[in-house]
Amino acid sequence: MDFFKLKENGTNVRTEVVAGLTAFLAMVYIIPVNSSIVSNTGMPIEALITATALITIIATAFNAFFANTPVAMSVGMGLNAYFTFAVCLGQKIPWQSALGAVFISSIIFLILSFTPFRLWVIRNIPKDLRLAICAGIGCFIAFLGLSQMGIITPNKDTLVSIGNFKNPHVLFGIFTLILIVFFWAIKLRGAFILGVLISSIIAWIFGIDNASFPEQILSLPNFSSDNGLGAIFLELDIKSALNITMIPIILTFFITQLFDSIGTITGIGERGKIFDDAKDGEKKLGKTLMADATGSALGALGGTSTVTAFVESTTGVESGGRTGLTALVVAICFAFTLFLLPLFKAIPANAIYPVLVMVGILMFMEVKNIDFKDSAIAVASFFTIIMMPFTYSITTGFAFGFLSYLLVRIFKREWDKINLGIIVLSLISLGNFLLIALQ
């Protein structure tokens, strides 16, 4: 175990294993949740279950050996919802083209990871705006979750209205959400997956949403080209993703992954002081970001949306995890999930979508750290957060946020608070609106 430098990092094998198991329990929900969400694009759910587990194993193990940090990687919540509902369903873009966009954005991110670009972003983009983007995406995916649960429904007069609370499907979703919130509030480890499994068992017993017990729990991974991994592996369409109309989508994937990765990885690092070492801290951070980008590019090749560092890795760090051995344990645990295809496939939809709402709540909690006393930050944060769910577009939230920030700074003649980063992103945002106008 000298490879992981356990003694040097003040830890031991037992602590790292416990930390890895803790992180695994906190994030294993991603397999049924991501598969259920992305299957709405037309991709086979069996293929997605296998792909999600496989890319989690590969990306997390790669980070374990390459960066030696206790950061687990998997398909990012938020961007998987954007990929599905905004890009594929909202804009009628084939999932193959959407995967091409994910791949291109990941390659850009990977190339820039070898440069001082990440430090430039941290220094030039106000932290408050990065937090507002996180909160806005939280609102967006919570709105999607509530819509899919039937709690929010379309209304021709008021745009949206409350759903039918007499519908067992809706009531079941509400029950699952309450259960997950309860487990999370009492700080129960594995709150999300426990809530999903308990709700699923209840649905199987009473036949809610036509759910039934799986005929078997275990099976071999499905690699077939019919409905297994072979149906989506290397099926991305890079050529169509290079169309000019795809630029806003590629930028959204890139900017969101950039801010999400930097915020999540540095946040995890702060909990365990992983990147504090003057000698190796910056090197570890850079390598973890490279692993993040590499995982995302590999994920697109394998048929998944953007792969990113998982904030649930924090639970492992809080349990004492300090090295890549923690991440390796997570990867090994996920290897066993490859054989649970029938179980994951049998989980009903409304045991899944409440997780979107809960993740949205956690992301929205970032607003507590935004400085609303600053008028430019207040206006920009408001538009960033509110426009994402209202326009069904993360891209539009970015654009309104950066442009309004720049305008308020100009109005107040606060020239010292306008830097190149803000100007570039504002021009990109303006270009996005011009593309929309010309379509």
| Contact yes or no for 222/345 (Cβ under 8 A) | no
DSSP state for residue 217 in the 8-state scheme: S
- Would the pLDDT of 119 be above 80? no
The pLDDT, as a whole number, for residue 278 is 57
pLDDT tens per residue across span 251-269: 889 988 888 888 888 888 8
pLDDT tens per residue across span 375-404: 999 999 999 999 999 988 888 888 899 999
- Would the pLDDT of 250 be above 60? yes
Predicted TM-score (pTM) of this structure = 0.88
The pLDDT, as a whole number, for residue 63 is 96
55 against 439, higher pLDDT: 55
Phi first, then psi: give them for residue 75, nearest 5 degrees: -65, 125
d(CA 256, CA 105): 10
The pLDDT, as a whole number, for residue 226 is 86
Question: Could you give the percent of the chain with pLDDT greater than 70?
Answer: 98
If DSSP codes are grouped into helix, strand and coil, which group holds residue 134?
helix
| Contact yes or no for 63/274 (Cβ under 8 A) | no
Q: In the block, which residue shows the tokens 């009628």?
A: 92
pLDDT tens per residue across span 37-47: 999 999 999 99
Q: In the block, which residue shows the tokens 């007499």?
A: 166
The pLDDT, as a whole number, for residue 116 is 82
Question: Could you give the percent of the chain with pLDDT greater than 90?
Answer: 60
**395: its two tokens:** 């891209």
**How many whole angstroms from its chain centre is CA 111?**
21
If DSSP codes are grouped into helix, strand and coil, which group holds residue 105?
helix
Q: In the block, which residue shows the tokens 């999400």?
A: 260
d(CA 25, CA 34): 16
The pLDDT, as a whole number, for residue 424 is 86
Average pLDDT over every residue of 365-374: 93
Phi first, then psi: give them for residue 432, nearest 5 degrees: -60, -45
The pLDDT, as a whole number, for residue 439 is 60
If DSSP codes are grouped into helix, strand and coil, which group holds residue 195?
helix
Q: What is the DSSP string of 128-192?
A: HHHHHHHHHHHHHHHHHHHHHHTSEEEETTTEEEE--TT-HHHHHHHHHHHHHHHHHHTT-TTHH
Closest CA to 69 of 249, 237, 288, 283: 288
| Contact yes or no for 311/26 (Cβ under 8 A) | no
d(CA 55, CA 303): 9
